[in-house]
Amino acid sequence: MQDVTTLSFMRVIARYGGPDAYWTEYFRVHGDSRLDKWILQSITENPTRQPVVAQLIGNDIPALVRTVKQLQKYPVAAIDLNLGCPAPVVYRKCAGGGLLREPERIDAILGALRDAVTVPFTVKTRIGFESPAEFDELLPLFAKHPIDLLTIHARTVKQMYRPGVRYDLIALAARELKCPVLANGNVYSAAQAKQLLAETGVRGLMIGRGAIRNPWLFDQIRAELRGEKIELPAGRDVLAYVRELWESEIAPSLQESAQVQRMKKFMNFIGEGVEGSFLHDIRRVATTADFFRVCENSLDHDQLLTLEPPTASEMPLDLPTAF
């Protein structure tokens, strides 16, 4: 996730178990682009001992080819093309999810990159730009090119992160494609993750917002799959996580107000799993003292927390029994 899952965040989340692989923030690729040094550091200084996949976003084929050739000089586990970013500033430039409006252009990009990438080549997509019906045209493109992995976020670009996650289309892809498929979108608990794996037939899960909210989630899923007891954090454990994030994000050049605003990017996700007025209050703080006052008021306790968002029950898997 851009400007959130940075090298600093990788260091923090790895101490809580962490995923089996990490994706970098995306390298913005265009005619005059160069490899972003701070993103490259998450590859060259990888502290996790797990593979790191270099993620690209853009539509300029010569620039994309040039960039993947540069990236393959570094210890990347794979090269990933982003076709899923729903940010308007991105899709209006026909990049990320915006490319889903131009299947012929995707076809050309996939062909050029498959020829240029000698490490595993992966793609992340959404199920369409305006409508899930667009997936009928997109799926054959991913079948045509011998990509090594496809990650599918089960919403459209215009849908952003609103309810209505189409896991059934992920299941369809998992059955029809030769490459492994990862499911992405609203993974919020170990039990739901296990059900999602079983009912879609995917090879694994990609977790973004849920991992920021609950860094214990990866280990909780592993325990669930092994049939072991799920360990839940207490409020004070979450408070310690927030303090660790704060320390990891401090920069000498940042003013206090900017540091607080920076932390709100994380708190918007963490706060979804904390009951009461926490999220409302934390969004309105402006000083370090007020930030930690709100955190301590809501988290300085021994009560166990699931850290599940309140909207979780509104988004059941609800997979059809036949397709």
Q: Which sequence positions are flagged as catalytic?
A: 85
The C-alpha atoms of residue 39 and residue 243 are separated, in whole angstroms, by 24
Cα–Cα distance, 24 to 247 (Å, whole number) = 21
Q: 3-state SS of 240-276? A: HHHHHHHHHHCCCCCCHHHHHHHHHHHHHHHHHHCCC
Instruction: Decide: 124 and 130 in contact? Cβ < 8 Å.
Output: no
Residue 84 CA to residue 246 CA, distance in Å, equals: 29
Render 28-94 in DSSP notation, one character per residue: E--TT----HHHHHHHHT--SSS-EEEEEE---HHHHHHHHHHHTTS--SEEEEEE----HHHHTTT
